[in-house]
Amino acid sequence: MTKELKLRQAGGSVAATLPKDMADRLHLGAGDRVLAVETERGILLTPYDPAVEAGLAIAARAAKQYRNALRELAK
């Protein structure tokens, strides 16, 4: 879904406001954190979840440590 957002001055920053229906569908509310990622096509907003980030870091370390065993299991 594509929606036009209006940017507003918020102190020393610039803020964008999500329409209520979009925020509701994405389960976002005031005070929630999102990540803003610059891409070649523009800005991607994605929910921030520190538990997921920590889990991915653990999985990456395990995959690196056991990469040979994982290759054998993949055969």
In a domain, 2, yes or no: no
Tell me the backbone φ, ψ of residue 35, rounded to 5 degrees: -100, 135
| pLDDT above 90 (res 3) | no
Going by their DSSP bridges, the two strands 42-47 and 13-16 should be labelled as unpaired
Q: What total of structural domains would you count in the chain?
A: 1
- The boundaries of the domain holding residue 51 are 7-74
Q: How far apart are the first and last CA of the chain?
A: 41
Q: Give 18-66 pLDDT, tens digit per residue.
A: 999 999 998 999 999 888 888 899 988 888 778 877 888 899 999 999 9
- Nearest by Cα to 22 from 46, 2, 48: 2
In a domain, 39, yes or no: yes
In one-letter notation, the amino acid at residue 7 is: L
Whole-model pTM: value is 0.53
